[in-house]
Structure 1
Amino acid sequence: MKAAPFAYHRPDTVKEAVELLAEYGDDAKVLAGGQSLVPMLAMRLTHFENLVDISRLDDLCGIDLVDGEVVIGAATPHALVGLDDEVAESVPLLTLATPHIGHFQIRTRGTLGGAVAHADPAAEYAAIALALDATIEASSARGDRQIPAAEFFTGLWENSMAPDEILAAVRFPVWSGCTGFAVHEFARRHGDFAIAGATVAVELDDEDRVARCGIGLLGLGSTPERGTAAEEAATGRPVADLSADEIGSLAMSGLADVPHDLQGSASYRTRVGAAMVSRAWTDAITEALDARD
């Protein structure tokens, strides 16, 4: 099949892009890497009268360290995120997660902003944004605003941005001290969407207690989820008193809409999810303890 006819717009600036969105409203859709949108258009699962291509806007590309945060422009490709030395040093979860995203061609064309805005429940970058309490910068003709990741994902492929807003950048906090990070996910084949997965960040205090932790979950809800119960149970406790299996089980508690589909039942995904959290927790704790040596 081919996409239904649409008007194609390529603005030269962010200002022009948001003005186009304001003009066309619900009849417009932002096009960045197109790795999710173009197949949906081709199969006529969705249609928009106007596509606004932001993929070549220099203002939306780049990676900067600003005031203890790594700020990544929305149009920055996955491949550049995965290869960047500053990202590897400051937000290791992004570096660890990038090889799990599709295949090389997808990582070359797909963008960080597109992955987050698409709000796919199996999206690695979206789960990391949740786990690290990232902030999403949205721009419109009305001005700019910042949206906490916890308030950004509202449903399957839905986010809290207004139709006239574009995702301009994502700000990831830099964790310091004795920290550890890990990503584990299970898919039928490498490059497939994860049946279940976990991203874990841990920081230890001077007495090897969990000072803070973040657990992002993939493929276990209608949106990316967070293992809140496990985080709350672990914070403040000595790592020696924490069982990885306990953390995995706690991370699954409170999940209300674990998918049941051809990839597996809800109970199967839950078991796999608990195992992925357990493995990622073990690796993150090991790294954090090694950082003290």
Structure 2
Amino acid sequence: MKPAPFKYHSPRSVAEALELATSLENAKFLAGGQSLMPMMNFRFVQPDHVIDLNLIDGISAIERRGDRLFIGAMARQRDIERSSVVQETCPIIPEAYHLVSHTQIRNRGTFGGSLCHHDPASEQPCFTAALDGIVIAQSKRGQREIPMSAFSKGYMTTAIAADELMVGASLAIWPKGHGYAFIEYSRRHGDYAIVGVAVLVTTDVNRRINKISIALCGVAPGPVRLHAAEQALMGQSPDATQFERAADIARGIEAMEDAHVTADYRQHLAGVLTTRALVAAAARIKN
């Protein structure tokens, strides 16, 4: 199928893009097009105006800013995956991106496009939540910061307002030598994850967990932080007994159900993958 008729706009600045978005009726921003264009082709969405962000400078940076990593909204997923800055500061990100679809898709897909599309099975919101991401949205009123804990507002719905444009996000940089893992289960490589788990962990000199982050994707409309499991593991040894406690908590989450997978199966996967991710992350800790 082909999209319904629309008018194409190609702004050269964020200000121009925002002016178009606020002055036009039924407009959509176009980033990498890996989600919007298929939806338009199937006529699931029929915007009257498409605002192409690809010629705007200044919103595709990938750089360290103090103790956080900044990623611009228009940064390509493949560029993020291959960035030496990202590999050094947040190695869980390249590991997660390796599971995102296929290279051709990541060559075009963008950080902001995927985050704002907000598919429940998407790896990107999951690792952004695990890294305590803060989304930066801009409007004519100025910029505001949205923590990932407040970003998801339901199925494929975010806290970005109609007159706002995501320009980037900052993510926490963990100490050198931290353990990390991103593990998911999908029917085939490149498919959407049925369930995915992101884990980051550090231990003290006594080999006790002193910092940990666990996030899930595929189980709810948005990423889920397992705060109860994190609290249960704090101060504990990173061993199989403790990890099974976390897995029990993961299995107890309220999981969604669809035509392909039952809630019970998602809960089972959440427990199994949480254990696997914790084991893999703990094995990478270098104190």
What's the secondary structure of 2:24's corresponding residue?
Answer: helix
1:236-291 CA-partner distances (Å, limit 9, x unpaired): 223248532321221233x33x2322332110111112111110110111111xx1
Distance in 2 between the 1:241 and 1:269 partners?
21
Q: Which runs of no fewer than 5 residues in structure 1 stay unpaired?
A: none
Q: Name the aligned partner's letter for residue 286 of structure 1.
A: A
Whichever structure has more helix as a proportion of its residues is 1
Distance in 1 between the 2:90 and 2:132 partners?
12
Q: Which runs of no fewer than 5 residues in structure 2 stay unpaired?
A: none
1:70-105 CA-partner distances (Å, limit 9, x unpaired): 101110111001101110110111111011111111
What's the secondary structure of 2:74's corresponding residue?
Answer: coil
1:15 aligns with 2:12: no
1:286 aligns with 2:283: yes
Distance in 1 between the 2:36 and 2:176 partners?
40
Normalised to the residue count of structure 1, the TM-score between the two structures is 0.94
What are the residue-to-residue correspondences of 1:69-148 with 2, within 5 Å? 69-148=68-147
Instruction: Verify the 8 A CA contact 1:60 1:76 in the aligned structure 2.
Output: yes
Q: Name the aligned partner's letter for residue 3 of structure 1.
A: P
Deviation at 1:189, TM superposition (A): 0.5
Instruction: Verify the 8 A CA contact 2:194 2:266 in the aligned structure 1.
Output: yes
Instruction: Verify the 8 A CA contact 2:183 2:196 in the aligned structure 1.
Output: yes
1:129-167 CA-partner distances (Å, limit 9, x unpaired): 111111101011111111101100111110001101111
What's the secondary structure of 1:175's corresponding residue?
Answer: coil
What's the secondary structure of 2:94's corresponding residue?
Answer: helix
Q: Which residue of 2 aligns with 1:223?
A: 222
What are the residue-to-residue correspondences of 1:1-293 with 2, within 5 Å? 1-24=1-24, 27-240=26-239, 242-253=241-252, 255-256=253-254, 258-288=255-285, 291-292=286-287
Q: Name the aligned partner's letter for residue 5 of structure 1.
A: P
Deviation at 1:18, TM superposition (A): 1.2
Instruction: Verify the 8 A CA contact 1:180 1:203 in the aligned structure 2.
Output: yes
Instruction: Verify the 8 A CA contact 2:130 2:225 in the aligned structure 1.
Output: yes
Distance in 1 between the 2:103 and 2:175 partners?
31
Deviation at 1:116, TM superposition (A): 0.9
Distance in 2 between the 1:131 and 1:34 partners?
26
Q: Which segment drifts farther, 219-228 or 232-241?
A: 232-241
Distance in 2 between the 1:221 and 1:235 partners?
25
Deviation at 1:48, TM superposition (A): 1.5
Distance in 1 between the 2:187 and 2:239 partners?
34
Matched positions, count: 287
Distance in 2 between the 1:4 and 1:85 partners?
41
Q: Which segment drifts farther, 209-218 or 86-95?
A: 209-218
Distance in 2 between the 1:123 and 1:139 partners?
23
What's the secondary structure of 2:284's corresponding residue?
Answer: helix
Deviation at 1:178, TM superposition (A): 4.2
Change (3 A) 1:31 1:235: same
Distance in 2 between the 1:285 and 1:127 partners?
19
Instruction: Verify the 8 A CA contact 2:39 2:45 in the aligned structure 1.
Output: yes
Q: Name the aligned partner's letter for residue 17 of structure 2.
A: A
